[in-house]
Each structure stands twice: as structure tokens, then as C-alpha cells.
Amino acid sequence: MIESFRRFKILIAAYILSVSYVSVWAQHVRMWVPSETGDYYYQLKENNVRLQASDLYSAERPSLNDAIVQFNGGCTGEIISPRGLVLTNHHCGYGAIAAHSTLEHNYVEDGFWAQSQAEELPNPGMYVTFVRKIIDVTGEVLQGVTPDMDARQRQSVTDRNINRLKKTLPHEAWQDISIKPFFYGNKYYAFVEENYRDIRLVGAPPSSIGKFGADTDNWMWPRHSGDFSLFRIYADKNNRPAEYSPDNVPYRPDRYLKVSTEGVHEGDMIIVYGFPGRTQEYLPSFRVAQITGKINPVRIGIRRHALDVLDKFMRRNDTLKLKYTSTYARIANYWKKWKGENMGIRRSGAIAEKKHWEEEVLRREAETGGHEVADILQELKAAYDSLEAPELARNVFIEAGYVDNPWMQYALDMYRFERQVQRRPEKFDELKSDFYEQMKNKWAKSDARVNRALFLAMWQDLNRYMPEKYKPSSWEIPANKSSHDKVSDNWQHAVFTDSLRLKKALEGGAENFLNVLKNDSAYKMARGLIDSFYNDISPDYARWQNKTVELMRSYQSHMMKLFPGFRWAPDANGTLRVTFGEVRGYEPRDGVYYEPFSTLDGVIEKYIPGDYEFDLPEKLLDIYKHKDFGKYAVNGTVPVNFLGTAHTTGGNSGSPALNAKGELVGLNFDRVWEGTMSDLYYDPSICRNIMVDIRYVLFIMDKLGDASRLVHEILQN
């Protein structure tokens, strides 16, 4: 009796303490699972939201989740009309826009606006995913798991439970079930999903609007980009998902977003609803130090090297610039993100903060009579130490041996093709023409001189950064220059880089082809690296990675039990989340304050005629000169972008920003540089998400584009 009273008192004290600590910590992670209404009510009340939790998500009736889709697996989109119109980012629709572009119809350059349903363009392979229902299945998934099980036993039990649940959870024939771990496997949720596969391109602004500022402005504020594009979902006659068919009709949504042209003010509440990809907020201090001190510098160094190579060619030659612009942008995007991340971790004192938190956890545990966390942290430290070499090796391979090295990409294509042929030599004739076409297309979009220069740079980096243990001996740079040159000559005329050689190699039968491969010295060298990746690096990486997940699971579980008053939001894992924030500027450095709004005046200020990043369409300059802003004018200009404190990450691109009434006021597309460390440590003082003001979207469509049909559809007038 007395014992339990004492425990009760400790619990109360713990609760009060955790609430006071919440003033720092609760704000860090705030990507909420939409079905966890308990968490909302607190947030909603605080922010005077005029929505019920059940407006945001309900399994019973149409709610806002029915208006949000994961867009093509990686971005977010939202339904903004009763006829299935989807708004997302320009950079999310870019692949489709580029695929439909030709020299006569250059939609990337000039933009595209379908004038009728018949002109909307299908995109094979593209899909969007709705989440209809979210179910906590923790109990079911963990059924049969016992504390004495090792990781493999646990895995086999949870896998079995998950497979069973996928069959037994009630769902319709056209729905799918996906089940994902949260909090490193302390919780599991099931998602009842619908995938629509007939998605047509409806509209896009010219790139000079959609990518205005390109790499220079990327991850930066002040920003002036119209990063949006429009698609439409098509369904079968019963409004169900269907493969593309000319007979399909525009999808009729259960719920779509009402667009508000009232705008936002500083301090206004915003709700960002979408599919954040990955965050790791609960890592211990030493892991954050390892990522920023050991892993990021290598990734940054390799990407910088590749960007310098590309830059030299692109500056000298316009054709090369065109060919490599999107490769450059892709490599530069995360190069810049990791640099910002390292800077932000340092500036925010994140590592010291996390240490402080670990001490807090240990102290709390001691108070409640526990004694396990110190050991877990120690084991975790040892596991991350063991992970370091294979993780570095894996990153060096991915960067220098893949992402920044086109010749290695072709070698990997060849490797996959070789395996297909080995498995089914009788299919050789069928397989080979597809493969040949695929390679020819890739080669046509690239340039041998650039690829060779990248190869040489990445070869250096492989030698420089690859941990000794994982270095394939064939990649050693020969001391003598002529054998070094001979190697790159061999690569330039390898069976996977030279279309004549490939064509010839494919002419004989399967056996002949496999023989040619065996004797290609460049391919042998490439295989050495690929084999070391699959046979040595990956298994070591997986082993220690799994160990860290297992230990993080128990660290996370202890933290959650020790701080029961804390509202724990799980790390992003690609599932639907809602996050609350407000419109707010920030201080990027001492003495400087950034306003949270940008306008068309700033777009014009940045204008550089003929520049690939800052050029503008003539027509926009005209509109500006005549102040022809129509109903989109605010204080003699047009609002363009704004900042908020919503906690977002990659995957939130294209997410709607809603006001307190649940109406669409903005379109999320980026974060500010000083705050990109929010994937590891969310600091409310400098982490900001960047949105396009919905009025800029409408202004561009209405005044610059030829899209009054769509503006009417959206505003329903």
C-alpha cells in the first residue's frame, strides 16, 4: 500500500517534470499520426483551430485525409476540385513535364495548359495513393514476441503477424494494406490505401517560374519560386482505381480542399498535411556527432568534386549544360542540404542539447529505480562504432560508385542484365532489344567526355574515402600514368559505354554475350566494386544497422516510459502525417531578421535576362510593368512565397498548407538552409518550411498561363 502510494507520487512528480521539460522537447518532433486525436486536441486547443480532430481524419466519414495523396511514391499532392484535380510541386511533376516535351512543344521551357479534358496527358507508371483508414495494430503485430527473443526470432514472428494481418484486416478488393513500424518497432500502424494509376498532366508553368532561382536559391530564403504543377486523377466508371484507358473519367473525390484567397498573416496558424519521408529525431548525441562529423563530410566532399567537374563542362558548352542540368540539380540538392545540416547542428548546439537530454533520462531512470539505459547507451555507442566503416563504405559506393558516376550506373545496368541472361538464357533474344534501346537512350542524353571526367574524379574519391577493408584491389590507381590512361580508355570503349560494342556483343547468342562480358576489362573492374558492395559492404552494414535499430527500439521505449507526460510523435517514415505551425520569420544570424513573406517585386529584383536560373518570361515583365495583377493584387504587388514553423522534410514537397479553417492557403516545397538539420534536431527558432502562396499559383495560371478553364474549376465560379 505504502509502496504503491510512493510509486504514485513518483509518477506524478515525473509527470510534472516531464511537462516542464516539454517546453523544450515537445516542440522538437511534431509529425503526428492523423488518427492520434489525443495528441491533436492539445495542439488544436492551443492554436485556436476551428476544426475538430475528426475533420482532419476520420475512418467513418469523408475528412481531410481523403483530399491528400502521396504523389508517385515520393511527394505529396492534394485534390483541389470536385473533378479530381491534383496540385503538387513543379519539381515533383518535372519528370512527366519533361517526358512530354519535344522541340516543337517544349513544356519545360514554355509551360503547358490543357485546354480541355482531351488535352490532358497520360503518364504511364505514375500513381497516387490515398490513405482511407489508419489502424493501430501494435498488439497484433507483437503477438508472440517475448523479451528473450533475439532480433531474428522477433523479426520472423512480426513478419508472420504482418502477413496474416494484411489478409485478415477488412478492406475492399481495390484497396491495399500496408503496415509500418513506428518508434523503431515499439508501435505498428496499418494503412488502408487506394492507388490510382491513371494520372494525367493538366498544367505546369514555364521552368523560369516553376524553378525560378534553381540551385542558387534552393534551400534558401528569401525565395521567389512558383514551384507548382497540376495533374488529374482518372478513375473507372465506378470511380475506382483503374489502369489508363481512354474510357476513364475524372475521379470524383469524397473530399477536396477549398482554396482560400484570403491569404495569411504573421502568427497565423498553418497545418501541413502530407507524407514526410525520414527523420531521426531521437538519436543519441554520439550518433548525431558521427553523422555530422564522419558521414556527411564524405558525402559532401564527393558531391562537391562531381559538381566541380560538371560545372567546368557546363560553363564552356551550352549543349552540355542542357544535357547535365537536371543531373547537376539532383547532385547539388543534397550536397547543399548536408552542408546546411552540419552548419545547423553546430549552430543550434544540438549535440550538447542531446547530451543534456541523455543525462536527464538517466537521472529520471535512477529516480524510478531503473538501471538499464546506461547499458543500452553504451551498447548503442559500440554498435554505431562498428557500423561506421561499413556505413562509410556504403556511402562511398553509393556516391562515387553510382550517383555521381554515370559509367558505373551503366555498369550496374549491365550487371542486372547479365543476371537476367544467366537466369534465363533462352529469353536472350527477347530481352536484348529492350536492353539495347534502354542503354542507347541513356547514352544519347549524356556525353563521353563528361562521363570520363566524372569517372576519373570518382575513381580518385573511391581510393581516397573507401575504408581499406572494403577497397577492391582492382580500383587502386596505378602509379604509372600510361596504365592509368589505358584503364580509362578501356572504360570509354567498354561493352556498357559504347553502343557499337554493345550491338556487336548482342549479335551472337547468350553464351557469346556472357563471354564478351567476362573478357571486358572495364566490366571486370566494375564487377569488382559491385561484388564488394553486395558481398562485403552490404552484409556488414545490414548486420550493424539492424543492431542499432534493435537498441534504439529499447532506448526509445525507455524514454517513452520515463516521460509519460511527453507527447511523443514518431519519426517520419513515409506515412501520412499532420503538423501544426504558424507563419513566422526568423533570424538567420545575429543582427539579421527575415520577414516571412516575399512578393513579385522580389521576383523582378532577381531577374537576370538570359540566365538559366533567374531569367523570366517576357509576358511576366509586361504584366509587372502594367501592374496587371487583377484580383491577386495585395498592397500593389502579388504575394509569392511565405515561411512557417511546420515540421517538414523530404516527401512533404507538394503538401498543402491549410489555415485554421482547413482551407488551402499554400503549397509546401522547401525548407530554409539554416534549419535543414531538422531531420536530426528540430529547433523552433530557426527551422522553417517554405510555401508558395496559393494566390501566386492562381495569378500565374490566370494572368501568365492560359488556364482560365482551370482557375474556374478551382474557384468554382
Binding site for ligand GLU (CB under 6 A): 75, 648-653, 669-671
End-to-end alpha-carbon separation of the chain, Å?
70
Return the one option of ligand GLU, ligand ARG, none that residue 648 interacts with (CB less than 5 to 8 A, by type): ligand GLU
Query: Binds 651, which of ligand GLU, ligand ARG, none (CB < 5 to 8 A, cut-off by type)?
Result: ligand GLU
Encode 674-712: b = buried (16+ Cβ within 10 Å), e = exposed. Answer: bbbbbbbbbbbebbbbbbbbbbbbbbbbbbbbebeebbe
Residue 652 site contact among ligand GLU, ligand ARG, none (CB < 5 to 8 Å, cut-off depends on kind): ligand GLU
State which residue, 73 or 349, has the beta carbon closest to ligand GLU: 73
Binding partner at 151 among ligand ARG, ligand GLU, none, C-beta below 5 to 8 Å by kind = none
Q: How far is the CB of 233 from ligand ARG (least distance, A)?
A: 24
Strand ranges inside 376-479, DSSP E: none
Give how many residues touch ligand ARG by CB under 6 A. Answer: 10
Angle between helices 428-444 and 499-507 (to 10 degrees): 180
Please tell me the distance from the alpha carbon of residue 344 to that of residue 579, in angstroms, as a whole number.
21
Cβ nearer to ligand GLU, comparing 92 with 411: 92
- Shorter beta-carbon distance to ligand ARG: residue 215 or 461: 215
The single-letter DSSP state of residue 26 is: T
Q: Does 653 bind ligand ARG (CB under 6 A)?
A: yes
In terms of CB distance, is 334 or 563 closer to ligand GLU?
A: 334
Residue 399 Cβ vs ligand ARG, minimum distance, rounded to whole Å? 17
- What's the DSSP call for residue 574? S
Paired sense of beta strands 85-88 and 176-182, if any: unpaired
Query: Cβ neighbours of residue 288 under 8 Å, at least 6 residues apart?
Result: 345, 350, 351, 354, 680, 681
- Sole binder of ligand ARG in the list 30, 91, 232, 703 (CB under 6 A): 91
Residue whose CB is less far from ligand GLU, 529 or 646? 646
Residue 460 as a binder of ligand ARG (CB under 6 A): the answer is no
Residue nearest to ligand GLU (CB): 653
Residues with catalytic roles? 91, 227, 653
Residue placing its CB nearer to ligand GLU in the complex, 324 or 669: 669
- Closer residue to ligand GLU (CB): 253 or 651: 651
Identify whether the C-beta of residue 56 lies closer than 8 Å to the C-beta of residue 46.
no
Site for ligand ARG in 667-706 (CB under 6 A): 670
| Closest distance of CB 652 from ligand GLU, Å | 5
Longest dimension (CA), the chain: 87
Residue 230's nearest CA partner among 614, 694, 703 is 694
Q: DSSP letters of 512-533? A: HHHHHHHT-HHHHHHHHHHHHI
Residue 649 interacting partner from ligand ARG, ligand GLU, none (CB closer than 5 to 8 Å by kind):
ligand GLU
Could you say which of ligand ARG, ligand GLU, none residue 90 binds, taking C-beta under 5 to 8 angstroms by partner kind?
Answer: none
Q: Which residues ranging from 301 to 330 are in contact with ligand ARG (CB under 6 A)?
A: 329
CB of 277 vs ligand GLU, minimal distance in Å: 7
For position 658 contacting ligand ARG by CB under 6 A, the verdict is no
Map the footprint of ligand ARG across residues 545-584, applying CB under 6 A: none
d(Cα 582, Cα 377) in Å, to the nearest integer? 36
Q: Which of 205, 206, 581, 650 binds ligand ARG (CB under 6 A)?
A: 650
- Find which of ligand GLU, ligand ARG, none residue 218 binds, CB within 5 to 8 Å per kind: ligand ARG
Total Cβ atoms within 10 A of residue 173: 5
Q: Which is nearer to ligand GLU, 341 or 404 (CB)?
A: 341
**Closest approach of ligand GLU to the CB of residue 97, in Å:** 15
A 10 A CB-CB count for 127 gives: 17
Dihedral sign computed on CA atoms, order 659, 661, 665, 670: positive
Restricting to residues 203-232, which ones interact with ligand ARG according to CB under 6 A? 214-215, 218-219
- Which residue, 491, 496, 483, 479, is CA-closest to 453? 491
Cell 559509367 found at: 407
Q: Say how far apart CA 18 and CA 355 lie, in whole Å.
A: 17
Q: Provide the CB-side half-sphere exposure for 127 (13 A, CA).
A: 12
| Interacting residue ranges for ligand ARG, rule: CB under 6 A | 91, 214-215, 218-219, 329, 333, 650, 653, 670
